[in-house]
Amino acid sequence: MHFLNDPSKPIRFVYFDLDDTLLDHRAAEQAALADVKAAFPDVFAHVPLSTLHQAYHTINIELWEQYQQGAIDRPRLIHARFARLIKALNLRHITPEALNACYMERYRQHWRWIPGAREAFLTIARHLPVGILTNGFANVQRAKLERFPELRQHTRALIISEEIGVAKPHPKLFAHATRAAETEPSAILYIGDSFTSDVQGARHAGWQAAWFVPNGSPSLPEGVFVFSSWPELLRRLDIDKQLPQ
C-alpha cells in the first residue's frame, strides 16, 4: 500500500497534470518565443527578449483564465494573445496569424520532460495505475503524448479538458476523471503545479493532492503534500528507489 498523508486512505490511482508538472511548458514557451524573435528580426528589433517573454506570458495567462472560465473560445484566445502582444509591444508589419503559426511550430520543437519527472512517472506507474488530467487544446496535448510514447503507453485514463467541455478546476471535470479511474475519490492522488487548478480542484473533488513547487516554499495547505523534487514524492509514497532505465 502507498500513502501520502493518512494511512487510513491508501492511494489506488494517480493522476498527473501535464504542463509544468511532467513536461516543461514554460521552458518550451520561452524557447519558442526566442525563435519567433529570431525569425522576425526587423519586427522585434526594438524588443528585448526578456520583455517579449514577460509580455506574452502575462497576456497568455490572463486569456487562459478567461478561456477556462468559458468567457472566450479557442479561436478568440489564439488570435487575441498575439493581437494584444502586437499592441503591447508596438510591433509593426506582422499579423497575429503569422506570429501564432511561427510560435506553434517552434513550441513543438522544444517539448522536454521536467528534470526527474520521467523517472518518477515510470516508477509510480510500475506500482499504481496512472492517468493524465490536463487543461489545454486537445490536439496539442495529444501530440505531446505521441512525442513521448512512455506517457501514452502507461496512461490508463487520459482526460483533456477541451474534450470534456469544462476546464480545471471545474467539478464536472474531476467527476469525469473519477469515473474514468474507476476508483473512489479518496483513493485518487493528483499531482500538479497549480494550486488553484490542481490542488484546490482535487481537494474539492475529495481526492488527495501533491503540489509540485520546484521554486519557492509556499505555506503548506492542510492535507496537501508539497514537494520541490520528484525523489521527495517517491520517498513520501514509500516507492522503491530503483528507477527505470
DSSP 138-204: HHHHHHHHHHSHHHHHHEEEEEEHHHHT--TT-HHHHHHHHHHHTS-GGGEEEEES-IIIIIIHHHH
Q: Which amino acid is at 114?
A: I
Q: What pLDDT is stored for residue 1 in this prediction?
A: 62
Q: What pLDDT is stored for residue 245 in this prediction?
A: 40
Domains of the chain listed by start with CATH number: 13-24+112-236 (3.40.50.1000), 26-110 (1.10.150.240)
> What are the φ/ψ torsions at residue 26 (nearest 5 degrees)?
-65, -40
pLDDT band (50, 70, 90) for residue 211: very high
HEC string for 69-120: CCCCCHHHHHHHHHHHHHHHHCCCCCCHHHHHHHHHHHHHHHCCECCCHHHH
The residues, any chain, with a CB within 8 Å of residue 118's CB and separated by 6 or more, are 22, 150
Q: Taking Cα atoms as reference points, which of 198, 184, 130, 191 lies closest to residue 4? A: 191
**What is the rounded CA–CA span in Å between residue 138 and residue 2?**
31
Q: What rounded mean pLDDT belongs to the chain?
A: 93
CA atoms within 13 A on the CB side of 2: 23
Rg (CA), the chain: 19
Residues in the chain: 245
Which residues does residue 130 pair with via DSSP β-bridges, in sequence order?
A: 14, 155
Q: What pLDDT is stored for residue 242 in this prediction?
A: 46
**What is the rounded CA–CA span in Å between residue 240 and residue 234?**
8
pLDDT (mean) for 210-223: 80
Q: Taking Cα atoms as reference points, which of 180, 197, 184 lies closest to residue 21? A: 197
State the pTM of this model.
Answer: 0.92
**What is the rounded CA–CA span in Å between residue 77 and residue 45?**
26
pLDDT band (50, 70, 90) for residue 2: confident
Reply yes or no on whether the pLDDT at 244 is more than 60.
no
Q: What pLDDT is stored for residue 23 in this prediction?
A: 98
